[in-house]
Structure 1
Amino acid sequence: MPDTDIHDLTDRYVALWNEPDAERRRTTIRELWSDDAVHVLQPPQEILQSAEGLGFDRLVLEARGHRALEFRVTRAYEEFVAPGTFAFRSRGNADRLHDIVKFGWEMTHRDGGEVAAVGLEILVLGPDGRIVGDYQFIEG
C-alpha cells in the first residue's frame, strides 16, 4: 500500500464537495476513487424515521463507480453549495489504521460559519491508495 498522506487525502476529499467546476470534480473523482468504488450513505435520522413509517426497516443509499459518484457529488454541490448557503470542511481529525481512514466533516452556513450538519467518513483504501469503499454517516 502506498504511503498516502491522509491529511492531503481528506482535504482533497472535502474540497471536492465544494468544487464549482464540473471537469475538476470529474478529474478529482477519478484520482480519489477506484473505478468500481462504492459510496454508501446512512441517511440522517429524520429520513430513516420517514422510511420506517413507510415500512422500510433499513435504508442505505449507495453509489458505485465514477459515473454514480460524479452524480452524487454534483447533486450535493448543487443542493447545498451552489446556492451560496453552505460549505463543507474537514474537522481536522483524520486517522488511519492499515487501509482504513476515518475523519469528520462539517457543513457550515456560509454567512456565519454555524455548523448545520456533521458527519463521519470511513474510507477503505485499495492497493494503489485510491478509495474502494466510502462509508458516510451523517450524525446531525
Structure 2
Amino acid sequence: MHNAHHLIERYIDGWNETDALRRRNLIEDVYTEHARYTDPMIDANGWEAIDATIAAVQGMFPGHRFSLAGPVDAHHDTLRFQWQLAAPDADEPLVVGFDVAALEHGRIRQVFGFLDKVPQAA
C-alpha cells in the first residue's frame, strides 16, 4: 500500500510541476511509455500527449494546485483515489475528481478519470 501511495503522490507531483523538463521526467518515471489517460474531456495516449494535457490544464488554471483528497485504495494492479484542484488559500476546491489507475510493472499504464465537481461555465 505504501508503494501505491508513493506512486500517486508522484502522479500528483507531475500535474503540479510547471518546469517542462522536471514534469517530463516525472511523467516518464510514473507512466509506461504508451500509457493512456482518459477523462470526460480528453483521451491522451503516450508521454507526449499526457505532457501536453498537463500543460494545457496548467494553462487553464494558473497557480492552482492538485492534491490528494483521501487515501489511495489498491488491490492487485489497480489503484483508486480522489483528488482536488484548488487555488492557493481557497476554502473550497474548484475541481474534484476520482481516478482509477491500472499498473504495469509498478508504473501507470492507464488512467480512467472522473470529474465529480467542475466549475460552471460563464
Aligned to 2:75: 97
Instruction: Work out the CA distance in 1 between the residues paired with 2:91 and 2:53.
Output: 24
Greater RCO (CA < 8 Å, at least 6 residues apart): 1
1:69 aligned to which of 45, 50, 56 = 50
Unaligned runs of 5+ in 2: 118-122
Measured against aligned partners, the alpha-carbon deviations of 1:87-129 in whole angstroms (never above 9, x if no partner) come to 1111132010101000000111213242111100100001x21
TM-score (norm 1): 0.78
1:139 and 2:120 equivalent?
A: no
Q: Unpaired segments of 5 or more residues in structure 1?
A: 44-60
Aligned-residue CA RMSD in angstroms?
Answer: 1.5
1:1-140 pair list within 5 angstroms: 5-43=3-41, 61-80=42-61, 83-84=62-63, 86-126=64-104, 128-140=105-117
TM-score under structure 2 length normalisation: 0.88
Identical aligned residues as a percent: 31
Superposition deviation, residue 12 in structure 1: 0.9
Say how many residue pairs are matched. Answer: 117
**Structure 2: how far apart are the matches of 1:124 and 1:4?**
16
